[in-house]
Amino acid sequence: MKKKAIPMMRPQDIVVMLKLIIEEDRSWNQISLAKSLFLSQSEISESIKRSSYARLLQNKGRQVARKPFMELLQYGVPYMFPQQPGEMARGIPTAHSAPPLDHEIRSGEEYVWPYAKGHIRGHSILPLYHSVIQAVEFDLELYEYLALIDAVRVGRAREKKLALEILESRICL
C-alpha cells in the first residue's frame, strides 16, 4: 500500500491567502482567483487544500485564519522562503523600496523584482511566486502586501519590525 504524501506549503499558497484576505467581503470563486493571480484553477485548488490541511483556512477554505496566518508570515516565511538581495536589475520596487514602506524608510539601496518593464534599478529580489509580477499590475493592495512580506524576508531589523506592524494592522483587524 502506497503512503499518501503530506501536503507541504508552497510560496504561491501565501499569495493565494493574501488574495483571499483582500477578497473576503466579495464574492469569489477559484476561477476568478486563478485569473487575478495568473495561476491555473488547479493551482488554486491545490493551494486551498494545502492551506486547509495546515489549518490556515477555515469555513471550507473560504476564509483565512488570520492570527495563525500572521504567525506564519512572522516566524515561517523568512525561513521557508528566504531571499537575499542579488545583482542589480531593472524592475518593480519591493520591500522597503515600495509602498507603504517607501514613505517610512529612506535608503540609498533599492530592491526590485526583476522585470523588463520595470522603471527603477536596484538589487534583485525574487518574488514569492513568478506570476505575482503580472498580478500586482492590477491589484495595488496585493502589491503592498507582497512588498511588506519581502521586507520581512530580506529586511534589516527595523524594516522587518515596521513591515510586521503594518501587516498585523491589516491582517488581524
Domain boundaries, the chain: 11-80, 88-171
Handedness of CA 43, 45, 50, 55 (dihedral sign): positive
pLDDT in tens, the chain (173 residues): 666 777 899 999 999 999 999 998 788 899 999 999 999 999 999 999 999 999 999 988 889 999 999 999 999 999 999 999 999 999 999 999 999 999 888 888 899 999 999 999 999 999 999 999 999 999 999 999 999 999 999 988 999 999 999 999 999 97
Among 149, 5, 166, 6, which Cα is nearest to 83's? Answer: 149
Tell me if the bond preceding 100 is cis, omega within 30° of 0.
Answer: yes
Q: What is the pLDDT of residue 5?
A: 74
Please tell me the distance from the alpha carbon of residue 165 to that of residue 104, in angstroms, as a whole number.
Answer: 13
45-80: string of b/e by CB count within 10 Å (b at 16+)? ebbbebbbebebbeeebeebbbeebbebbeeebbee
Beta strand 88-93 with 111-114 is antiparallel
Which triple of cell numbers denotes residue 146? 507582497
pTM higher than 0.85: yes
Beta strand 111-114 with 120-124 is parallel
Class of domain 11-80: mainly alpha
